[in-house]
Amino acid sequence: MFKKLMLAGSAVAMMVAGTAHASDTVKVGIVLTLTTPAAIIGKQMKAGFEVAYDHLGGQIAGKKLELIFEDDTFKPNIGKQKTEKLVKRDKVDFLTGYIWSHVLGASAPVGFKAGKIVISSNAGHSIFAGKKCNKNFFNAAWENMQTPMAMGQLLNKKNVKSIYVLAPNYAAGKQMITGVEKTFKGKIVGKELTPMSHKDWSAELSKIKAAKPDGVFVFYPGAWGPAFFTQYKQAGLSGKIPLYNVFSIDGANLPRFQKAKMDHLVGMINTGHWSPDLDNAANKRFVADFRKKYRNEYPAHYAAQAYDSLMMIAAAVEQSGGDPKNVDAVRSAMEQAKFASVRGPFKFGKNHFPIQNFYSREVVKDKDGTWMLNKRETVLKNHAPAMSSECKL
């Protein structure tokens, strides 16, 4: 019994010691999905943060850098609880990660209330770019509608006259479809919002066949993608009707597609704000080191955004005089976005969303035969989210 008390006592002592030294560290709380099948994205992003940590040498402005990862289990309420824990127990200086709009929506207010800077490394809910923008919120990724808007533009360029659009029936899915509708000038002959639990598209594929569009546009991220692409081929549609996607093919799932020998995906085109072959020094170093760290796989944009998030924090702390607690100074520095982004040109708009290029990218084989995305053309240049003007910052 006495021993136990001693142990408990020393644990308390350590905790006290930990807080005493807090000012010598920069603490970054990172909320990701690390369990459930959605962890395929979370694990990529975790590796992205870790590469950034290595590149920073484990410190920012001479202070020890500490990353604290938490798992939101894909649920908004858990995400919020973990965020509370990061703020109140771990006393982090920054909150980042956040893959999903619903987790971000629940969690961000906790950070704002505590006066922390919150940086979304992926979730790009439109509302945060417009009406609900916040001085302490930064987005290191994109706004949901931008990528499909680039795709709509690309389809115009390719002279596609009619498309059939499909996405899962949730907020991001609807925003993807709205995005492509904004820029695509041809006719949308059919639109399907499929239930989220849905993994069998037999009904929809039959309808596509009957509608005979020039192209099919899909948003099927994560586990939906492999199932949809397989069935698209089985229905005899691949090779007949070109398939365009956003966020459905990336470095995180290409290895799996290749393993499953889904050859019909090579040559497929999607749009995005980044590509593993972007020609800048930061990106080359990031991609090479990421592959060393993570099963020799190419990073997906998720990992790239994670990397940028941490680099952005590091630059802002350093440029503002090295005190992460001085939130006003850090925020001003962060607005300048003076750091070497893996996506090359990068700046923040007034609403703290990136103003950046969007590219078309094609699935190719690299020199070892590994599948990867390669940049083709710049579709949208210095593009800002459509609803930026609604932001009153």
Partner 1 sequence: MTFALFVEQIINGLQLGIILFLVAAGLTLIFGIMDLVNLAHGTLYMFGAFFAATMVSITGSIVWGMILAIPLMLLAGVLLEVTILRTLYTRNHLDQVLATFGLILFFNELFLIAWGPEGTGIALPPWLSGSTKLGMGIELPDYRIVILVSGLIVAAMLYFLVAKTKIGMLIRAGASNREMVGALGVNIKLLYTAVFGIGAVMAGFAGMIITPITQAEAGMGEGFLILAFVVIVIGGIGSIRGAFYAAIITGLIDTLGRSFIDVVLLLVVESVTAETAGPAISSMLIYILMAIVLALKPNGLFPPRGA
Partner 2 sequence: MLMGSLWTPRGIYNAVIIILCIIMPWLAPAIGQEFFTDVFTRTMIFAIAAISLNLIMGYGGMISFGHAVYIGIGGYTVGILSYHGIDNGWIQWPMAIGLCGVFALIFGAISLRTKGVYFIMITLAFAQMMYFLSVSIEKYGSDDGLNIDSQSQFGVPFFDLSDPLTIYYTAFLCMMLCVYITYRFVNSRFGMVIRGSMSNDERMRSIGYPTYGYKLTAFVIAGMMAGLSGILSANFEAFMSPDNLFWIASGDLIFMVVLGGMGTIFGPIGGTVLFLVISEILSNFTESWHLIFGPLLILVVLYMRGGMEGFFASLGRSQND
Binding site for partner 1 (CB under 8 A): 35-40, 42-43, 169, 191, 193-195, 197, 199-200, 202-204, 206-207, 209-210, 223, 226-227, 230-231, 233-236, 253, 256, 260-262
List of residues 6+ apart from 385 with CB closer than 8 A: 126, 129, 130, 142, 143, 145, 146, 349, 351, 353
State the minimum distance, in angstroms, from the CB of residue 39 to partner 2. Answer: 9
CA distance 312 to 115: 18
Q: Which does 29 bind (CB under 5 to 8 A by kind): partner 1, partner 2, none?
A: none
Sign of the dihedral defined by the CA atoms of residues 272, 277, 278, 281, in that order:
positive
Contact 245, 217 (CB under 8 A): yes
State the minimum distance, in angstroms, from the CB of residue 360 to partner 2. Answer: 28
Helices (H), 28-100: 39-55, 76-88
Residue nearer to partner 1 on the CB measure, 190 or 344: 190
Residue nearer to partner 2 on the CB measure, 27 or 102: 102
Q: Which does 40 bind (CB under 5 to 8 A by kind): partner 2, partner 1, none?
A: partner 1
Q: Which does 261 bind (CB under 5 to 8 A by kind): partner 2, partner 1, none?
A: partner 1
Q: Which does 157 bind (CB under 5 to 8 A by kind): partner 2, partner 1, none?
A: none
Q: Is 331 exposed, middle or buried (0-12, 13-18, 19+ CB in 10 A)?
A: middle
State the minimum distance, in angstroms, from the CB of residue 137 to partner 2. Answer: 13
Helices (H), the chain: 2-20, 39-55, 76-88, 101-113, 126-129, 146-157, 171-183, 202-211, 224-234, 254-259, 281-293, 301-319, 327-336
Residue nearer to partner 1 on the CB measure, 47 or 313: 47
Using DSSP's 3-state secondary structure scheme, residue 13 falls into helix
Q: Which does 336 bind (CB under 5 to 8 A by kind): partner 1, partner 2, none?
A: none
Residue nearer to partner 2 on the CB measure, 75 or 376: 75
Residue nearer to partner 1 on the CB measure, 150 or 262: 262
Using DSSP's 3-state secondary structure scheme, residue 346 falls into coil
CA distance 122 to 214: 31
State the minimum distance, in angstroms, from the CB of residue 56 to partner 1. Answer: 27
State the minimum distance, in angstroms, from the CB of residue 21 to partner 1. Answer: 35
Residue nearer to partner 2 on the CB measure, 169 or 234: 169
Q: Which does 1 bind (CB under 5 to 8 A by kind): partner 2, partner 1, none?
A: none
Residue nearer to partner 2 on the CB measure, 34 or 303: 34
Can you name the residues that pair with 375 across neighbouring β-strands?
361
Using DSSP's 3-state secondary structure scheme, residue 384 falls into coil
Residue nearer to partner 1 on the CB measure, 253 or 356: 253
State the minimum distance, in angstroms, from the CB of residue 72 to partner 2. Answer: 11
State the minimum distance, in angstroms, from the CB of residue 41 to partner 2. Answer: 15
Q: Which does 187 bind (CB under 5 to 8 A by kind): partner 1, partner 2, none?
A: none
State the minimum distance, in angstroms, from the CB of residue 167 to partner 2. Answer: 13
Kindly list the residues in this chain that would bind partner 2 in the complex (CB under 8 A): 12, 15-16, 19, 34-35, 71, 75-77, 80-81, 84-85, 88-89, 101-102, 105-106, 109, 125, 132, 169-172, 174, 196
H or E element, residue 268: none
State the minimum distance, in angstroms, from the CB of residue 389 to partner 2. Answer: 21
Sign of the dihedral defined by the CA atoms of residues 101, 177, 35, 75, in that order:
positive
Residue 248 token pair = 């459905």
Contact 221, 228 (CB under 8 A): no
Closest by CA position to 343, among listed 308, 312, 367 = 308
Contact 75, 107 (CB under 8 A): no
Q: Which does 260 bind (CB under 5 to 8 A by kind): partner 1, partner 2, none?
A: partner 1
